[in-house]
Amino acid sequence: MIERFRGESMYATANGNAEILLQGSDARQLREDFNANAQRTLEFMASNLVAKAQKVVWEQFPDDMPGRIVAAISERCRQAVANEETISQDYSQTHSVSRGMRI
- Rounded (5°) CA angle 51-56-41: 25
**pLDDT tens-digit profile of 44-73?**
888 888 888 888 888 888 887 777 887 887
CA distance 58 to 60: 6
DSSP tally for the chain: helices H, then strands E: 3, 2
For residues 14-33, average pLDDT: 90
pTM, whole model, 2 decimals? 0.57
pLDDT at site 101: 44
